Amino acid sequence: MHATAIIDPSAEISADAEIGPYCIIGPGVTIGARTRLMAHVYLEGKLAIGEDNLFYPYSSCGVAPQDKKYKGEASETRIGNRNSIREFVTIHRGTGGGGMITSIGDGNLLMAYVHIAHDVTIHSNTILANGVTFAGHVIVEDYANIGGLSAIHQFCRIGRHAMVGSYSVIKQNVLPYSITASDHHVEVYGANRIGLERRGFGPEAIEALQNAFRILTRAGLNTTQALARIEEEVPQTDEVRELLDSIRNSKCGFIK
């Protein structure tokens, strides 16, 4: 612990953690082994941070949300293991209206200026590029990749292995395994083929997804018709079934 760090006596910090210059750690903060705060990091509880995380300068985590309904309830923030939190990232704790928890899983990369609002759930192995901004109550599933300066509306869900292009404004759910991006408006451009190949998906699984997306977005069918045709014509792999379930269970609609 650097001599210039200010640490509340009630904070629980592993002996293997590293606290750099000018960091401020408030009460109710727990930090796991080998987590490193480089410098000028601000942490406020109730906040639990796991092992092997790296916080870059001027990031802040666990502070009160920017939600006018928040009345000081004892909500919390949870961060897993092996996350990289880059410069000026802001992560706000949960609220009584959203489950009381903001959570981040394992192995995520949050690039500079990412904002994680109250009651957001980030699963694991995601990449959130510079300036990505989440409103409250968003869910981001495993291996999602969101391009820089994108804005995600509250209560939206970003599906597994989805790629969202830079500068996108997301107002509905993003389907798993999709490439979703904005040109003049946001739309699906097919399966995230390259990303899936890199993650070890075989050609049969990728081709089935590509055919499903083609029927869904290019066949001139409404959603009900498209789902029926996908079930009839496309091999029902685990990934295709997950895609269909995501569409059927989408409460706020999905980007097509």
**The predicted structure's pLDDT at residue 132:** 98
Residues in the chain predicted with pLDDT less than 70, given as ranges, are none
Sheet holding 12-13, edge to edge: 12-13, 29-31, 47-49, 76-79, 101-104, 121-122, 139-140, 157-158
* Three-state secondary structure call for residue 187: strand
The predicted structure's pLDDT at residue 251: 87
Candidate list 118, 123, 137, 161, residue with the active-site label? 118
Structural contact between residues 237 and 204, judged by C-beta atoms closer than 8 angstroms: yes
Instruction: Round to whole Å and give the CA distance between 1 and 6.
Output: 9
183 is catalytic: no
- Structure-derived torsion over alpha carbons of residues 244, 161, 136, 53, reported in degrees to the nearest 10: 150
119 is catalytic: yes
State residue 32's pLDDT score.
Answer: 98
Which domains does the chain possess? 6-140 (2.160.10.10), 196-248 (1.20.1180.10)
pLDDT value, residue 182: 87
Pick the catalytic residue: 94, 119, 137, 142?
119
Q: What pLDDT is stored for residue 50 in this prediction?
A: 98
Q: Is there a catalytic annotation at residue 136?
A: yes
Whether the pTM exceeds 0.85: the reply is yes
Catalytic residue among 62, 80, 136, 159: 136
Each residue of 222-242: pLDDT tens digit? 999 999 999 999 999 999 999
- What are 11-62's pLDDT values in tens digits? 999 999 999 999 999 999 999 999 999 999 999 999 999 999 999 999 999 9
pLDDT at residue number 252: 87
Q: Half-sphere exposure of residue 138, counting CA atoms within 13 Å on the CB side?
A: 26
